[in-house]
């Protein structure tokens, strides 16, 4: 993990209460303004619900907002997260797919609650939903309910003891492939970026994902060390990909030590992404219109 914390101009990987972050979009943007950050990427899981509020706050606090989304996919037993920047929020194809992903999340939650009950842990749906202020519900909300009820003392313990991979109440999620995630972003005219590839050692997948439309790699990230940064910066150069960066900020209680703006990029990268968006609107030869 990076031990030097220079504040970056733009943090392009942030979560809000629209998914599993602890700050509302307005609170996130206000915090960025107080820190002197000039640009923020809103990248909630499977939802674009936070965009409108973030943009309104951005105008108020003079913070540039990059509209994004984070899609969870699976490849060879590893989690692969795809960031989609500036996707067309009016795309019916995109919204239908996101709706299905959120329904799969809800079904997974119910199955996890059933398995928890078998472990003697009795949580109700309403107890979990009170922590999910947005339309995208996930395991962090269940973990928060476990803390609230006193079954565990931290969100991390909730994952380790009950709902993380290999734990007794773990339920595999609906499996989108990286190719499907990239195609979804590109079909909606967005820029597809591979998130934090060093976490799961995803070097081998990058060449094939470039072929289906990957356009960037998140090089600077709270879980990347200096070796990761060098490795993925070199791969980005080799395949002529954008290099992006962000903290993966959720809020201190949810991701301790991951502070807004301590990982990121210059404002120039936002402009590079916006330029690619214009190119994607013109050139749909890879994926066609949807």
Q: How confident is the model at residue 138 (pLDDT cuts 50, 70, 90)?
A: confident
Beta bridge partners of 42: 14, 67
Residue among 19, 253, 16, 256 nearest 138 (CA): 19
Q: What is the pLDDT of residue 287?
A: 46
242 pLDDT more than 60: yes
Token pair listed for 248? 């993966």
**Half-sphere exposure for 214 (CA within 13 Å, toward CB):** 29
**Does 26 or 176 have the greater pLDDT score?**
26
Residue among 154, 158, 119 nearest 138 (CA): 158
What pTM did the predictor assign? 0.84
284 pLDDT more than 80: no
Q: How confident is the model at residue 5 (pLDDT cuts 50, 70, 90)?
A: low
DSSP code at position 45:
B
Residue among 66, 79, 116 nearest 277 (CA): 66
Phi, psi of 168 (to 5 degrees): -65, -25
What kind of fold does domain 99-163 have according to CATH?
Answer: DNA polymerase; domain 1 (1.10.150)
174 pLDDT more than 90: no
Q: How confident is the model at residue 283 (pLDDT cuts 50, 70, 90)?
A: low
56 pLDDT more than 70: yes
Query: What proportion of the chain, given as a percentage, has pLDDT over 90?
Result: 78
């Amino acid at each position: 993990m990076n031990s030097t914390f220079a504040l970056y101009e733009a943090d392009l990987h942030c979560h809000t209460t629209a998914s599993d972050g602890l700050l509302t979009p307005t609170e996130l943007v206000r915090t960025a303004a107080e820190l002197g950050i000039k640009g923020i990427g809103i990248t909630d899981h499977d939802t674009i619900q936070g965009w409108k509020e973030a943009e309104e706050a951005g105008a108020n606090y003079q913070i540039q907002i990059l509209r994004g989304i984070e899609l969870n996919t699976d490849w060879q037993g590893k989690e692969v997260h795809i960031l989609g920047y500036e996707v067309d929020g009016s795309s019916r194809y995109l919204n239908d797919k996101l709706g299905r992903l959120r329904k799969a999340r809800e079904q997974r939650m119910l199955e996890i609650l059933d398995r928890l009950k078998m472990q003697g842990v009795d949580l109700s749906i309403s107890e979990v939903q009170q922590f999910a202020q947005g339309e995208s519900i996930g395991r962090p909300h269940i973990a928060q309910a476990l803390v609230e009820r006193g079954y565990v003392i931290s969100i991390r313990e909730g994952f380790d003891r009950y709902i993380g991979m290999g734990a007794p109440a773990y339920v595999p999620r609906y499996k989108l492939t990286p190719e499907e995630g990239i195609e979804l972003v590109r079909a909606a005219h967005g820029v597809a970026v591979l998130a934090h590839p060093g976490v799961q050692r995803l070097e081998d997948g990058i060449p094939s994902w470039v072929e289906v439309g990957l356009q960037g790699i998140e090089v600077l990230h709270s879980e990347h060390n200096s070796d990761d940064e060098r490795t993925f910066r070199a791969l980005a150069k080799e395949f002529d990909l954008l290099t992006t960066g962000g903290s993966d900020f959720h809020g201190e209680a949810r991701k301790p030590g991951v502070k807004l703006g301590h990982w990121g990029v210059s404002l120039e990268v936002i402009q590079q992404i916006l330029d690619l968006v214009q190119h994607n609107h013109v050139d749909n030869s890879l994926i066609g219109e949807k």
